[in-house]
Amino acid sequence: MKAIYFVFCLCTALMFSTVNSLAAGEDFKTFLRKFTSSASFQYSRIKFPLKSPIVLLKDDGETEQTFSFTRDKWALLDSETLQEGRITEEEGGIYISRFTRDGPAHKEFEAGYDESEPSLRVVFELIGGKWYVTDCYNDWYNFDLPVSELEETVRTMQEENKSFEELHP
């Protein structure tokens, strides 16, 4: 009887440790290394369309138009772009990049010049034990970009993505 009780306790402990390790999900640093070094992996870990649409001004300068932030508008992100740091430029500007939220299942990375709006904001969420990008603001599509220039901007960004893909398939 004691042997059966011992085996039951051992199996229960093993089951709980397995469940706990699965609940923790994948390591974020490992995910981020792979995310910034493989275009195919990066695309597979983005929940398109992103939560926030791209908002641009029409040519009248007053009317807003929204576009879904879809895969064709995504600018691939490299490790340098998502690296935390603080750079003081010769002109005196300070460029800061950091994780502004760093929770166990939700992380937000922002980059931009000190005392101004971020030029990049990426939201990562742990979903089903895996990290995904669920939202992004990218200066490629800032409010100053007229709707009439969106198509050309997307083409230019896609050309840059091809260069990334050649280096990091």
Quick one: pLDDT band at residue 56, thresholds 50, 70, 90? very high
pLDDT at 10 over 50: no
pTM of the model: 0.83
pLDDT tens digits along 112-142: 999 999 999 999 999 999 999 999 999 999 9
pLDDT tens digits along 95-105: 999 999 999 99
Distance CA 107, CA 35 (A): 14
pLDDT at 21 over 70: no
Distance CA 145, CA 133 (A): 24
- SS3 category, 54: strand
